[in-house]
């Protein structure tokens, strides 16, 4: 199994003074504070709705809650920093007060939004652009000393589908991680997690090619996040909709675990936690 690989990955994260052990895979629940995220079941339009979903996810075994106030689905509308912040901060404040045990991750590519959210009570940053859409992001992450999810994407949410051209998708994504991680380390950042960005500027076959070689990212000795939940790489292959893609998501999450994924980012926490338990029973 991938967990027994020669490469010794970093197995802990310091998030808000809490030392998290990643020797057992963890689950991250998705809470979208947007009206147009691709999976309707993850959308929450009020603080109370977000609190209810957070409580459900934490009860089911989530370690992280990933809060996004800017839709990154292909073709999504652009919104201002102010609108993103206005959607996000009341929920961060409420969750930090109501669920102090939760690790709050902020899904944003904007440094100002990231910094404000961390100062409001969030613990880590999940950047779909890997610092490419805001030159200040790496410096902010290093200064705040928060865990940082470094995802691979080309272009932006409105243009990425036109940029899915690769000679060797694994080699390009691997080199991207090596280069961006070096830049982060030079600035003094700690606790970097890598996310191959399944479906972001990648056709279905390219996403599956990355999953096929997911274990080879272990050479970077960094924790790996797999975010495949209800994506088109699943429902498009099966001829379904996102709403019908839970079974396929569980299957692909299980494959990701066998290939070394340390964090599963999901809309359905209970099923992902069960997959982790079964995977670990087999080790």
Task: Give catalytic residues, as residue numbers.
Answer: 231, 265
Scanning the chain, the segments in alpha helix (DSSP H) are 47-60, 81-98, 111-120, 137-144, 169-187, 204-212, 232-238, 246-258, 269-281
Q: How far apart are CA 259 and CA 216, in angstroms?
A: 9
Max CA pair span of the chain: 48
Residue 244, helix vs strand vs coil: helix
- Helix, strand, coil share of the chain (percent; to 5): 45, 15, 40
* 56, HSE (Cβ side, Cα atoms, 13 Å): 15
Burial class of residue 97 in the structure, from the number of CB atoms within 10 Å of its CB (0-12 exposed, 13-18 middle, 19+ buried): exposed
In this structure, are residues 73 and 36 in contact, taking their beta carbons and an 8 Å threshold? yes
Q: Comparing C-alpha atoms, which of 80, 45, 3, 56 is closest to residue 267?
A: 56
Residue 70: phi and psi, rounded to 5, are: -135, 115
For residues 84 and 40, the answer to whether their CB atoms sit within 8 Å is: no
Helix, strand or coil, per DSSP, at residue 158: coil
What span, in angstroms and rounded, lies between the C-alpha atoms of 47 and 278?
34
């Amino acid at each position: 199994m991938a967990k027994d690989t020669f490469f010794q990955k970093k197995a802990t994260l310091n998030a808000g003074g809490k030392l998290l052990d990643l020797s057992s895979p963890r689950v991250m629940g998705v809470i979208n504070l947007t009206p147009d995220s691709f999976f309707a079941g993850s959308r929450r339009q009020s603080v109370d709705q977000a609190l209810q979903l957070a409580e459900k996810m934490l009860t089911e075994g989530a370690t992280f809650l990933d809060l996004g106030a800017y839709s990154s689905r292909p073709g999504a509308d652009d919104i201002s920093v102010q609108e993103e912040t206005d959607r996000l901060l009341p929920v961060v404040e409420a969750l930090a007060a109501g669920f102090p045990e939760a690790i709050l991750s902020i899904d944003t590519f904007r440094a100002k939004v990231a910094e404000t959210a961390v100062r409001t009570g969030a613990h880590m940053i999940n950047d779909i652009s890997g610092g490419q859409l805001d030159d200040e992001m790496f410096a902010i992450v290093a200064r705040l000393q928060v865990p940082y999810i470094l995802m691979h994407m080309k272009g932006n949410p409105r243009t990425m589908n036109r940029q899915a051209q690769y000679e060797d998708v694994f080699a390009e994504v691997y080199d991207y991680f090596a280069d961006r991680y070096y830049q982060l380390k030079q600035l003094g950042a700690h606790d970097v997690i890598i996310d191959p960005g399944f479906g972001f500027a990648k056709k279905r076959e390219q996403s599956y090619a990355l999953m096929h070689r997911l274990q080879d990212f272990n050479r970077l000795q960094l924790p790996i996040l797999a975010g495949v939940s209800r994506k088109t790489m699943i429902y498009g292959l099966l001829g379904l909709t996102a709403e019908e893609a839970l079974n396929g998501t569980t299957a692909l999450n299980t494959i990701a675990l066998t290939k070394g994924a340390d964090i599963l980012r999901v809309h359905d926490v209970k099923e992902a936690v069960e997959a982790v338990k079964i995977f670990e029973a087999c080790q």
